[in-house]
A and B are shown apart, each in its own frame.
Chain A
Amino acid sequence: MTGSDDAIALDERLWQAAAAVLDPEMPPLTIADLGILRSIDQRNGNVVVTITPTYSGCPAVEMIEAGVVEAVTGAGVEAERVRVERVLAPAWTTDWITEEGRRKLLEAGISPPRSLVANSVDGGEVAVTLARAVTARPRNPVGELACPRCGSAAVTELSRFSSTACKSLYRCESCREPFDHVKEL
């Protein structure tokens, strides 16, 4: 085994460890399921874990960072060599929630976010000269929002905000149960 194979094996082991950290506000989901975990690099003898917050004011970020340090330390890296970096760009989107993450949300009775497509109203005509300006264009959810329990699409929004900043509250008109929906962002 060469040195670079060792490095790859370590990268993989560290990724697995960090990827298993649970989101404190949606415990069935890991930070990898949510797409919060962006990368793990070995730089100048340090292990740099890059994460991106879901919302600017997400109160779970500090706890996630502590969880990541603990996990990477548990995988055999000394705590003083672990650094967690927060990046804002590209901005997190609910499209980064994995299939596994969506399955876990449904299992927990939470309606997963729908996928987003660029708003066609301005999409066709506006010439975007700067690549970064693309992120400024509003995108709309496609598909139906359905009750996670009975699958009915007859649902009513009760509140634009729910148990956390990233969810809104709905009621199913078929089975009459209230449920959380992860807002498309």
Chain B
Amino acid sequence: MSLPSSMSLSSMSPLLTYVLRLADDNLIAAQRLGQLIASMPDLEEDIAVANVGLDHLGQARNFYQYASDLDLEGRDEDQFAMERDEREFLNATLVEQPNGDFAQTQVRQFLLDAYQVPLYEAMTASADERLAAVAAKAVKEARYHLERSSAWVVRLGDGTAESHERTSRAVDYLWPYAGDLFHRDDVESELVAAGVAVDPSMVRPSYEAVVADVFGRANLAVPQDPYARTGGRTGFHTEHLGHLLPEMQSLYRAHPGATW
């Protein structure tokens, strides 16, 4: 029997909450990419989304396995992924945004990659050895993702009038949700002070430098509106997560504990 989400959230330690935020970003990103398998414009891109998705899924599992060790309710990685409801997911709202057209998929991926590379780099020096170990593995993958998504953003933004128009639209649409990546609250404050969590504001300069560089080469304007659609870190999501979760969870919930 799972607790109502509000109780469940408040009974979690700051570290568990933090680890779930990291895990959920990766799981939802992986699910979005998984939806694209067999529908990308060419075979190479099809293999690429599958592989990038697999990296995110692997990172999510490493974080969920740690979360499982921290959880007083003793939930395992499958229960975290498949038995929680929308209000209990703590991913930033960026990753749940729909795949849209190819430009939207690549811009969403690029913004996530530009955030994850400096995040994981900083996390390799965390006082928490488990987080440092997961990050040391993940950072290499994130760098490779960033190389690829940067190349696509430049190619699309600096491409035809049509691809430029679509990529600009994707940037404008996704920008406020990317701001959710940098939201910081009490959960992080204590952990940042202890050298465990990475302060999102420390990640931001690297992120902004990469975005400015890539958008510059892509002829894309960096949006100046500071509005950020925050809330994902405390379970307030956009409508899109509510559609993603049943697709991801229905099989598991129909056959709880099933393995294959």
A2 within 8 A of B: no
Interface residues of B in 201-251 (CB under 8 A from A): none
Sorting the interface of chain B by its residue count into under 10, 10 to 19, 20 to 34 or 35 or more gives 20 to 34
- Among A55, A88, A136, contact of B141 (Cβ-Cβ < 8 Å): A55
Q: Which of the 9-residue segments B56-64, B98-106, B170-178 touches chain A?
A: B56-64
How many residues of chain A are within 8 Å of chain B by beta carbon?
27
B 45-70 to A, binary, CB cutoff 8 A, 1 in contact else 0: 00110111011111101100000000
- Among A57, A160, A185, contact of B58 (Cβ-Cβ < 8 Å): A57
**B54 engages A135 (CB within 8 Å):** no
**A59 engages B54 (CB within 8 Å):** yes
Q: Which of the 9-residue segments A15-23, A144-152, A161-169 touches chain B?
A: A161-169
Interfacial chain B residues near A162, Cβ < 8 Å: 47
- Among A53, A133, A158, A165, contact of B124 (Cβ-Cβ < 8 Å): A133
**A133 engages B47 (CB within 8 Å):** no
**B44 engages A158 (CB within 8 Å):** yes
A8 within 8 A of B: no
**A138 engages B55 (CB within 8 Å):** no
A90 within 8 A of B: yes
Interfacial chain A residues near B132, Cβ < 8 Å: 89, 132
Interfacial chain B residues near A185, Cβ < 8 Å: 140, 144
**B124 engages A169 (CB within 8 Å):** no
CB distance from A147 to the nearest CB of B (A): 19
**A136 engages B55 (CB within 8 Å):** no
Residue ID in chain A nearest B126 by CB atoms: A132
Interfacial chain B residues near A98, Cβ < 8 Å: none
Interfacial chain A residues near B75, Cβ < 8 Å: none
Given A132-B124, A132-B132, A133-B125, A57:B54 Cβ within 8 A: yes
A159 within 8 A of B: yes
- Among A87, A133, A159, contact of B44 (Cβ-Cβ < 8 Å): A159
A58 within 8 A of B: yes
Q: In the assembly, what is the distance between CA of A89 and CA of B47, in Å? A: 28
A 41-69 to B, binary, CB cutoff 8 A, 1 in contact else 0: 00000000000010111110000000000
CB distance from B181 to the nearest CB of A (A): 19
CB distance from B126 to the nearest CB of A (A): 8
B22 within 8 A of A: no
**B47 engages A161 (CB within 8 Å):** yes
Interface residues of B in 136-178 (CB under 8 A from A): 136-141, 143-144, 147-148
CB distance from A52 to the nearest CB of B (A): 9
Interfacial chain A residues near B48, Cβ < 8 Å: 159-161
**B134 engages A88 (CB within 8 Å):** yes
Given A91-B136, A133-B125, A56:B61 Cβ within 8 A: yes
Residue contacts A-B, CB under 8 angstroms, 24 given: A55-B58, A56-B55, A56-B58, A56-B138, A57-B58, A58-B58, A88-B133, A88-B134, A89-B137, A90-B136, A91-B133, A91-B137, A130-B125, A132-B125, A133-B125, A136-B124, A138-B143, A160-B44, A160-B148, A161-B48, A162-B47, A165-B55, A183-B144, A185-B144
Given contacts A55-B55, A88-B137, 5 further A-B contacts (CB under 8 A): A89-B129, A91-B136, A92-B137, A133-B125, A135-B136
> Nearest 4 A-B pairs (CB), nearest first?
A57-B58, A56-B58, A89-B133, A159-B44
